[in-house]
Amino acid sequence: MTRKLYAFNGGIHPEGHKDVSNAAPIRSMPLLARYVVPLRQHIGSPARALVQAGDTVLRGQRIAAAEGYVSTAVHAPTSGRVTAVELHPVPHPSGLYDVCVVIESDGLDQGLEFQPLDWKALEPSALRNRLRDAGLAGLGGAVFPSYIKLNPGAARGLDTLILNGAECEPWITCDDRLMRERAGEILQGVAVMRHMLGAREVLIGIEDNKPEAIAALRAAVVAGEAEIVTVPTVYPGGAGKQLTYTLTGRENPAGARSTDIGVQVFNVGTAHALYRAVVLGEPMLSRIVTVTGHVARPGNFEVLLGTPVRDLIQAAGGALAGASGEVVGGPMMGFDLMDLAAPITKAVNCIIVKDRAHFPARAPALPCIRCGACARACPAKLQPFELYWFSRAKDFGKTQAYKLFDCIECGCCSFVCPSHIPLVDFYRFAKSEIWEREQHKSGADQARARHEFKEFRLEREKQEKAEKLAAKVAENRARDASADPQAQAKHALVQAAMERAKKAREGIAPLNTEHLPAAAEKEIAEIEARRHATEAANQETAGRE
């Protein structure tokens, strides 16, 4: 029975250029003299270095440990000596530097002895920890640590596991060749995923422009193990939300994850890496990378992580005359490479060497004509022109109101824009500004909370100190009054002197108080009353002392 498919909103049909690199089998890179292994190869916190300059390492040895929850380990791609742990160019849109472990190969490629995992007998948490230590991360673009996505507690209620073999972006063919050549190994990785997540069904979605890959997986699959589903070729049909909707008709609510609707999505490359980590016991040391475009021998290579891009291009025969630069990833969602010394990481699935014919200079941006083409092409059902205006005006509150963070940055809007406005660049700018402001706000909130707590603590300590001092003074007075004979004698002498003075005053009668007017007598009486009140108060105070 043919599965019913659902068409998502928008999408485009750019020229594929898949035939440039998908004809030849996967090739292996020769061993290099030097590898540069970044500590940040995944979403989340970078790994923490476990080695330093001068250390010797073996292939597969853990050289950096996961740091924090959203993190995963990093391993040595070959044996040799660590020459530095330093900043080095990495694949990044802004050409940033990051901390890398530089390894000088000894040419022996000696490795640790890998032990397969008994994944059916291991406790789920123990198995996930082993995958974290194996450095497993998603190879579909997001590079999210796989051990988190394989947690059934985080995916409670999950009933469908989707394997993404769509590979919708032009020029990229690494998943196509992987499915053609290693279908059985991919399905063994799928079996581990299904066991860990408890999924009821497994769907493997592949675009219909990959007939060889579809045939290879159908030949390798066992009945009931998974369903191979051919989906229409449309960009971005391989995005997680769009593929989920195509296969199941379930739509992620804004801000929700696929697990909220009972689905978990993995790339076919991740399933293959899981097979190697579990069945072979091998950590993630390499990945398949497409090298295509204006090179002598385009194709797909199994590349050790840490391989400089320059060496990978040389393995493909080198760039031809007229090359105008390099793109990391595909032409829709990728970015220009700033430095050929940057290494291959878990996130790099394709290197395109550009030429002017296929990658002409960007046309100058013209004013928006409000044609609505971007909205019709948007697969996330957004209003790209509204997001553009608010992003350009730095009205970030409005961009969030118009669901900026539902944008998957597929580039469909920029592709169809007749004014050649780089719309996605504005969205990325707005997102980065919002993230930075949120970080600053969070830091300010924490600083204010710390200051308020400090003020409260100081005031409390001051009050407690005053109360302790008053109690101590009262205690000392009580003790002195009861235990010190000299103090008692002094107090008695003072009381006696006050009594004598009082009697002396009472015995003195003024001589000029006879035959006074009534008003003067009243005034004198008031004065005497105040004097007696003052004396009584003085006596009471003396008595307390």
Query: Quick one: fold of 18-24+125-355?
Result: Rossmann fold (3.40.50)
Give whole-number Cα distances, 222 to 200, 202, 227, 228, in Å: 15, 12, 9, 11
Selection from 186, 198, 202 nearest residue 154 by Cα? 198
Task: State how far the Cα of 418 lies from the Cα of 407, in Å rounded to an integer.
Answer: 20
- Its CATH architecture, for the domain 368-483, is Orthogonal Bundle (1.10)
Mark 181-214 as b/e (b = at least 16 C-beta within 10 Å): bbbebbbbbbbbbbbbbebeebbbbbbebbeebb
What is the DSSP secondary structure assignment for residue 418, as one 8-state letter?
T
Quick check: helix, strand or coil at residue 361? coil
Q: Give the residue ranges of DSSP H helices in 267-341.
A: 268-278, 309-315
Non-local CB neighbours of 28 within 8 Å, separated by 6+ positions? 301, 302
> What kind and span of H or E run contains 62?
strand 62-65
Strands (E) located in 191-274:
201-207, 227-231, 263-267
* Residue position matching structure tokens 């581990």: 192
Determine contact, residues 74/85, Cβ cutoff 8 Å: no
Each residue's pLDDT, cut to its tens digit, for the chain (545 residues) gives 578 999 999 999 999 999 999 999 999 999 999 999 999 999 999 999 999 999 999 999 999 999 999 999 999 999 999 999 999 999 998 888 999 999 999 999 999 999 999 999 998 889 999 999 999 999 987 899 999 999 876 556 689 999 999 999 999 999 999 999 999 999 999 999 999 998 999 999 999 999 999 999 999 998 888 999 999 999 999 999 999 999 999 998 877 788 889 999 999 999 999 999 999 999 999 999 999 999 999 999 999 999 999 999 999 999 999 999 999 999 999 999 999 999 999 999 999 999 999 999 989 999 999 999 999 999 999 999 999 999 999 999 999 999 999 999 999 999 999 999 999 999 999 999 998 888 888 788 888 888 888 888 888 888 888 888 888 887 777 776 666 666 667 767 777 888 887 777 766 666 566 667 777 778 878 888 887 788 777 766 655 55
Predicted structure pTM score: 0.80
Nearest-5° Cα angle at 282, 278 to 287: 105
Rg (CA), the chain: 39
